[in-house]
A = this chain, B = another copy of it.
Amino acid sequence: MAGPSLCAATTAASPDLHKVPGFGESKTTQCSFSIESILGLEQKKDGIPAGKPHRPWMDAFLGDDSNPHLQIPVVCYENPLFHGRSDPVQEEKVLKCEKYFSVTERLSFKRELSWYRGRRPRTAFTRNQIEVLENVFKMNSYPGIDIREELARKLDLDEDRIQIWFQNRRAKLKRSHRESQFLMVKNTFTSNLLE
């Protein structure tokens, strides 16, 4: 069969969503995604216990505004006022999805959220990688794309990991500066008291 292909597995969790509208409809490239994959429902290959599917998308249904990571709107319609080109059929299906889960289910999902949030596994840099990164940081704490790419190549890391490392390293430096300034002020204050 030529033309659009679509993997749609029927599960108890998504009986109404057998299709992702508009998916794989391009003329140039064949692209298929399962609903489970898009919503993060796919079972992990290993390391994840049965009965604990990956459901970070459930964030949308929890209604906890105190935590920025819990007020995530999974489904964001194009606003008809400004972007009035959204398909009503798509919206209807999505709304059905949104309403499908009971309050009890939402609460149980909320408990599961802390269990896994769909993050990239934490990268464990080697001592050598850290050493090189620190030395480069001393010379240039804002490396451009070419330096980052070179580092990535030589340290066998993704360029994005390098980028994030420098962002966090700059934050750390700024924090230590703030802390030392605070200590300086505090020490001056204490010294003045003892005079």
- Chain A residues engaging chain B, CB cutoff 8 angstroms: 20-23, 25-26, 28-29, 31-33, 35, 37-40, 42, 44, 54, 56-57, 59, 72-79, 81-83, 86, 90, 94, 97, 117-121, 126-128, 131-132, 135-147, 150-151, 154-155, 158-160, 163, 170, 173, 176-177, 179-180, 183-184
Q: Which residues of B contact A120 (CB under 8 A)?
A: 145
Q: How many protomers of this protein does the assembly include?
A: 2
Central interface residue in A29, A144, A159, by most chain B CB within 10 Å: A144
A30 shortest CB reach to chain B, Å: 9
Distance, CA A170 to CA B76, complexed state (A): 9
A26 x B140 contact (CB < 8 A): no
Which among B20, B56, B126, B137 is the interface contact of A142 at CB below 8 angstroms?
Answer: B56
A79 x B127 contact (CB < 8 A): no
Central interface residue in A35, A74, A135, by most chain B CB within 10 Å: A135
Which among B81, B128, B144, B173 is the interface contact of A118 at CB below 8 angstroms?
Answer: B144
Which among B20, B35, B138 is the interface contact of A76 at CB below 8 angstroms?
Answer: B138
Given contacts A22-B131, A33-B154, contact A57 B117 (CB under 8 A): no
A131 x B179 contact (CB < 8 A): no
Distance, CA A81 to CA B119, complexed state (A): 35
A180 x B119 contact (CB < 8 A): no
Which among B25, B118, B150 is the interface contact of A146 at CB below 8 angstroms?
Answer: B118
